[in-house]
Structure 1
Amino acid sequence: MTRADRLRPGDLAREHGLSAQAVRNYEDDGILPPAPRGDHGYRHYTPVHAQALRAFLTLRPGFGHQGAAAILRAANAGDEEAVLRLVERGHAEMLRDRGTLDEAAAALAALAPQDDRPTRGAPSVGALAHQLGIHPATLRKWERAGILHAERDSVTGYRRYPPAAVRDAHLARQLRRGGYPLSQIAAAVARVREAGGVGPLEEALGAWRSRLRLRGRAMLDGTAELSAYLRLRGL
């Protein structure tokens, strides 16, 4: 190692606005490879360490702290297969998140505009089941799960579904088609019910999509820095 290649913890820290102690902690956690020590026990870092830190901090927004740390530890161990597996796992999780978001967005889009508006009358369990193309027993099951809130006819005592319940039933049917369990459907419907309509949920999905977009770009940036680090290590 030449003198020009010798870097102190502070040299690595300044690039990222960190403390020198944070750099040393990353080495102790295995995120940076072990640094050689000088005659007085001081750590001597190299451009390889600098790139390892750069890769970790760039990976972190896309893969999370634990995910990025695991990737760097595998790289420092020279285990290229483990590195690739961890990166692929992160992308697979991202793809699942996108799929879940798309299913939720499709469920909202499938709701007819009038589903969120007052309508005349309140259908019975049979009428609503026919409207949705499902069995009446399914509606009763959804009611027990807290997805629907039926009213009782004051004369007959039969179930009647007010406009908000009809809207909730349409949303539940679409989410069920997307494979959502009843517990998650109940939570989504409760949010719509509390907000007074699907508009706030659409806004939440839009914010979720923006976060996924940023995370996807962060994953691209992180893997580029990781690739540079792997080349420096000869992997």
Structure 2
Amino acid sequence: MWGWPVGEDASGSRHVPLRTVDVARESGYSVQQVRDLERSGVIPPAARSSNGYRSYTSAHVRALRAYRGLAGAVGPVSARKMLTELRTATVETAAAAISGVHVRLARERDEALRARRALHAIRSEKDTPEPEQESDAMTITQLAAALGVRPSTLRFWELEGLVAPERVTALRARRYGLPAIRAARIVAALRGSGHGIPAVRDIMASLHRLDGAEETERILRRRLDLIAARTVALLRAGADLAAVVTSAQGPADLPPATDRHEC
């Protein structure tokens, strides 16, 4: 359980200066990492004393904690870019950006779950063939939108032998039936979990073998676990992200504080 942040007293004052080592201790980063993250713009530049020493505040500690959680959710490169933008954005814009991360994580989870259902359907196809209706088919535009990828990505997967349309009309329009849609969902999940094209090709070729299907199931389970961990990291960063967002608005714009204790 954290008390009020280092450099901040019980009244919420932020005038107490912090050394680099203090910030490192409270944020969980090394002294060199604090300097590097300042240099890359993750935290605002520290004030400098007459003798050149850095002087930080609790706002820097909160920004570093926010970065740690955000990096766990979206990766360090995206987190650096996002935090830099959050510090100068309006509350409305910043809140929308953070909400967008939650939405993207939820979508990734939904797609991973659909991929698992598709895998189970593929495994059971040989035992209980499922009748397919024309309404079940999708165009390349519809399937790309459902997967959150570009149509050109589906064309690339087709060239690589990963997913193929089941029918191409006289106007060269692709139509994807249920088997192709299921395969595309699994490919999207495998690519999202970091598997390269050759590995995905091998996995897709093995789906009708018991060992291949079981390995794919394990991969999708790990992807769901990773998405859950990223979501928890974002939730843990919530209060610190809010502090970063609201600190840019100035004290006059903030609601009165009621409790300075945080977990």
1:49 aligns with 2:64: no
Q: Which residue of 1 aligns with 2:37?
A: 26
What whole-Å deviation, never above 9, does each CA across 1:8-27 have from its counterpart, x for those lacking one? Answer: 11111123443222211211
Shift of 1:228: 2.9
* Selected match of 2:236 from 197, 213, 221: 221
Q: Which residue of 1 aligns with 2:142?
A: none
What whole-Å deviation, never above 9, does each CA across 1:157-207 have from its counterpart, x for those lacking one? Answer: xxxxxxxxxxxxxxx964533583898697352252687441221121111
More helix by share: 1
How many corresponding residue pairs?
Answer: 194
What 5-or-longer segments of structure 1 have no aligned partner? Answer: 117-127, 136-142, 149-171
Query: How large is the Cα RMSD of the aligned pairs?
Result: 3.9
Task: Select between 6-15 and 84-93 the one with higher mean Cα deviation.
Answer: 84-93
Q: 1:1-235 to 2 correspondence within 5 Å?
A: 5-111=16-122, 113=124, 115=126, 133=132, 146=161, 174=178, 176-177=180-181, 180=184, 187=201, 188-192=203-207, 196-233=211-248, 234=250
Larger RCO, structures 1/2 (Cα 8 Å, 6+ apart): 2
TM-score, normalising length from structure 1?
A: 0.65
SS at match of 2:66: helix
What 5-or-longer segments of structure 2 have no aligned partner? Answer: 1-6, 8-12, 135-157, 164-175, 191-199, 254-263
CA–CA separation in structure 1 for the residues paired with 2:219 and 2:185: 20
- % same residue: 28
Shift of 1:102: 1.9
Equivalent pair of 2:87/2:245 in contact (CA under 8 Å): no
In structure 2, relative to structure 1, the CA distance for the partners of 1:29 and 1:106 (3 Å cut) is: same
Which protein has the larger Cα radius of gyration, Structure 1 or Structure 2? 1
In structure 2, relative to structure 1, the CA distance for the partners of 1:49 and 1:174 (3 Å cut) is: same
TM-score, normalising length from structure 2?
A: 0.59
In structure 2, relative to structure 1, the CA distance for the partners of 1:27 and 1:65 (3 Å cut) is: same
Return the letter of the residue paired with 1:229.
V
SS at match of 2:48: coil
Shift of 1:213: 1.1
